[in-house]
Amino acid sequence: MTLLLARWQFAIVTVFHFFFVPVTIGLGFLVAVMQTLAYRRQDPGWDRLSRFFGRLFLINLAVGVVTGIVLEFQFGMNWSSYSVFVGNIFGAPLAIEGLLAFFLESTFVGLWIFGRGRLSPRLHLATIWLVSVGTVLSAFFILAANAWMQHPVGYRVVHGQAVLTDFWAVLGNSTLWESFAHTVLGAFATGGLLVLGISVWRAHRETSNEAHRSAFLRAAGLAAAFTLVAVILTSVAGDAQARLMDSQQPMKMASAEALYQTKSGASFSLLTIGDLSGKPVFQIRVPHVLSMIADLSWNGQVRGIDQIQQAETAKYGPGSYVPVIWLTYWSFRAMVGAGMLMILLSAWALVLARRKRLLASPWFRRAALIGMALPFIANATGWIFTEAGRQPWIVYGLLKTATSVSPVSAADVVATLVGFVVIYSALGAIDVMLMARAARHKLDDLDDHGGHGGHAESSAGGVVPELVY
Amino acid sequence: MPFANLNTTWFALIGLLWAGYLFLEGFDFGVAVVTPFVITDETDRRLCLNAVGPVWDGNEVWLLVAGGATFAAFPLWYARLFSGFYLALFLVLVALIIRGVSFEFRGKDDRPGWRRTWDVANFVGSLVPAVVWGVAFTDFVHGVPLAADGRYNGGLIGLLHPIALVGGLASLALFALHGSVFLALKTSGDLAQRARRAARVSGLAAVVLLAATVAWVALTGRPAVTGSVSAVLPLVLAVAAVTAVGGATLLVVRRRDGWAFIATGTAILLAMGAVFSRMFPAVLPASNRAANGLTIAGAASQHNTLVVMTVVAACFTPFVLAYQGWTYWVFRQRLVRPAAAPGGEPTRAALAPEA
């Protein structure tokens, strides 16, 4: 019981946290780009845009940061047996993430918020770039930890603990570098689609102020090109990951397709009606695509769940090595499908932007607005797929999830689970409300923090920042 | 011997991380806790919030690094501690969540109910960890009952030994003092004067409560390991900490805010020195049977991990200290209450260097 509850708790606090992380990474980068354009070109339009999106960035960051604290301790609270087993290796990137990334991000975001008008514009610009570097470094180190769970390297097991033999192997893990590319590019696309959706919507509503309208159109144009490149590269990285997964975690590949029997020239099903146990009522299938994904060859062999189950039983002993198939099958399709739609949407946006017709199509305006949901679907289902697809393992081939849980009572886990769900629901609702309100904010209100008027003139005639909070 | 040395080094470094964390976030907590007692209006409240505004987030990272370093250097300590002190940690996490967002959310709406909600969140979210950390560290030095397999099964209630409650109040008073002195340093005029008054009250309370905790632990706590560093050193450090708190209180009375802040900060560092040297050579001391406790050697990671951690820490900590220190330098000026704006709109407050 504790195990099931602890798994639900981890899934909820992690997926919730990861709604905010890609926005922090992607929007932080784009705000830094906008502020750079403002600085380089002395352009008030980009300056206003960087403040406008900076405000959204900070609301999102607040929730992202506090939900991240929970994760730092979640392993010890609910997964103490896991923590003891992996601590020698998994703990190091976590600690390094704090030292190298969190300090950078948190210290410089304070300087960025409060330093406007106090630091030189050049130094102030540097602070937002350092924040952005911090967010990307943070992704790298936490993925180093996760990649080791997917594909353990550089270790030896001594007295029931995995101990480090080669730290460079842990940092050079092929799984790490491919998932790092996939995750960060996906985060860039997330930020890009947010800027695109909001900019198109705002440009359409700015009927009276031509300067603001054109500023938002420029932001939309930037976001369209940025997102298209980011999503295409995300797909390329994801495609490379799939081949790596096929060799490192074949069961995950097979469960992505619910492919039970080993097959050459395997097809990829777009959707399935009926059960996924190999006897579907109705399927739309694209021939040879699964073989292309897994093996880059037209008739490549893809191993089936039944065969892998046999092989893993022989290797690891009796037991089921099959994940929850409906979850892996559908989360994989949701991720890939959302990604495809993101490519179409940003390509459409780029074509319209090139022809200066971004606002001409009401269908596009709606699509851009609704399209902001796509990256969130892809991000969440992507992680659900990769974590659920590794089951029953928590560390692939070494440690099972079932033996990783803490010896805490189910009542305690229920209490904290309910607590987190209540608090996170409230936080989520408030965050969406504040983001929606900030997205309506006037573009020429230069105050960075809500509506408390602009900057006061000091006695010396220069501009001094107001109280920020 | 190099093994033992690195283990002990990391035990000491984790002690330093906690000390740094409580030094820095201690005054953030303290400012929030005394705010209701020193403000007269919305502008005062915003001055208090902005006094810690640029730095609180960076301060909190010390906790995350302490947690991460414990995980990496002492996996068993991390696992036993946080699964054992489960609900206490949950309380702290909830507090840090509502407190963290309160800074950003509060100013997003002018309605009084909204503001009051986040003011309460900021207050409670600072009060709870200020007490719980004190309770926890008192439990560490006093020891908690541990089962033969080293696990703590006493639940939340088991942590609330009377002595731990006194320790929790002592840490609350100490952080209130530390925060009041910080406010006195960072603000000016009437607000700074009221902060000094809060510092006097909390300083007196801190001296009494801290002295009581120290005496109680010395008299009834688990016996110190003979011949080890935990025999005499902790008591010396603890007495020095109490003295520093008393000194800080006297310095505030004489309006020597800067020296008083150095004294409160020193008191926190000394107190953490006392805690960690008293725990040594255990990381989780047992009150019932010493053998059930978890030792540094028993909890530590293997040599390779500790070497990697040592190299990374040696290379990057200087940069972190430099830029975090620089942040304090950038925002070193006192916040000044703006002259009443025409129409008396307090939220249009401006801050300027004091003449």
Cβ atoms of residues B19 and B264 within 8 Å: no
Min Cα–Cα distance to chain B from A66, Å: 5
pTM above 0.95, yes or no: no
Structure tokens at A209: 């102020």
Render pLDDT for A1-20 as a digit per residue (tens, 0 to 9). 899 999 999 999 999 999 99
Across the A/B interface, how many CB contacts are shorter than 8 Å? 257
Residue B345 has pLDDT above 60, yes or no: no
Summarize the confidence of residues B236-263 as an average pLDDT: 94
pLDDT at position A243 is 87
DSSP notation for A292-314: HHHHSSTT-EE--HHHHHHHHHH
Q: What is the DSSP letter of B144?
A: B
Q: How many CA atoms lie less than 13 Å away from B130 in the CB half-sphere?
A: 30
Q: How confident is the model at residue A350 (pLDDT cuts 50, 70, 90)?
A: very high
Lowest mean pLDDT among A118-127, A394-403, B228-237: B228-237
Name the residue facing A88 among B82, B301, B327 (closest C-beta).
B301
| pLDDT, averaged across chain B | 89
Considering only the beta carbons, identify the residue of A67, A91, A119 that sits closest to B68: A91
Q: Is B187 exposed, middle or buried (0-12, 13-18, 19+ CB in 10 A)?
A: buried
In angstroms, the separation between the Cα of residue A159 and the nearest Cα of chain B is 11
Calculate mean pLDDT across residues A361-383: 95
- Could you read off the pLDDT of A416-437 as tens digits, one per residue? 999 999 999 999 999 999 999 9
pLDDT of residue B342: 45
For residue B343, pLDDT beyond 50 = no
B97 interfacial to chain A (CB closer than 8 Å): yes
Q: Quick one: average pLDDT of A51-57? A: 95
Q: Does B144 contact A at CB distance below 8 Å?
A: no
Average pLDDT, chain A: 90
List residues bridging with B295 in a β-sheet: B282
The model's pLDDT over B294-313, given as tens digits with 9 standing for 90+, comes to 888 889 999 899 999 999 99
- Residues pairing with B350 in the sheet: A466
**What pLDDT sits at residue B79?**
93
What distance in Å separates residue B68's CA from the closest CA in chain A?
A: 4
What tens digit of pLDDT does each residue of A203-254 get? 999 888 888 999 999 999 999 999 999 999 999 999 899 889 988 999 999 8
Chain A closest CA to B232's CA: distance in Å?
A: 32
What are the φ and ψ backbone dihedral angles of A398, each rounded to 5 degrees?
-115, -40
User: Would you place residue B225 in the very low, low, confident or very high pLDDT band (cuts 50, 70, 90)?
Assistant: low
* Each residue's pLDDT tens digit, B37-91: 999 988 899 999 999 999 999 999 999 999 999 999 999 999 999 999 999 999 9
Instruction: Report residue A436 as tokens.
Output: 């929606």
Beta-carbon separation of B304 and A78 below 8 A: no
> pLDDT at position A466, please?
56
Measured between beta carbons, the chain A residues lying within 8 angstroms of B64 are: 69, 72, 98, 102
Q: What is the mean pLDDT of residues A79-99?
A: 94
pLDDT classification of B339: cutoffs 50, 70, 90: low
Smallest Cβ–Cβ distance between B65 and the set A99, A111, A406 belongs to: A99
CB within 8 Å: A87 and B71? yes
Does the pLDDT value for residue A454 go beyond 60?
A: no
Interface test with B, best of A3, A73, A163, A440 (most B CBs within 10 A): A73
- State the nearest Cα–Cα gap between B317 and chain A, in angstroms: 7
Q: Which residue of B has its CA nearest to A94?
A: B68
Strand ranges (DSSP E) for B187-324?
282-284, 294-295
Percent of chain A with pLDDT over 70: 95
CB contact under 8 A, A161 and B106: no
Q: Say yes or no for a CB contact (<8 Å) between A65 and B57.
A: yes
B83-128 confidence digits (pLDDT tens): 999 999 999 999 999 999 999 999 888 899 999 999 999 999 999 9
Listed by start position, the domains of chain A span 2-249+345-436, 253-322
Confirm if A101 and A134 have CB atoms less than 8 A apart. Answer: yes
Provide the token pair at B307. Answer: 């070497």
- Contact list, B73 vs chain A (CB under 8 Å): 91, 95
Residues A378 and A375: their CA atoms lie apart, in Å, by 5
Q: Which residues contact A212 (CB under 8 A, 6 or more apart)?
A: A48, A202, A206, A443, A444
| CB within 8 Å of B120: residues ≥ 6 apart | none
**Identity at A103, one-letter amino acid code:** F
Q: How many CA atoms lie within 13 A of B73 on its CB side?
A: 32
Q: What is the mean pLDDT of residues A376-388?
A: 96
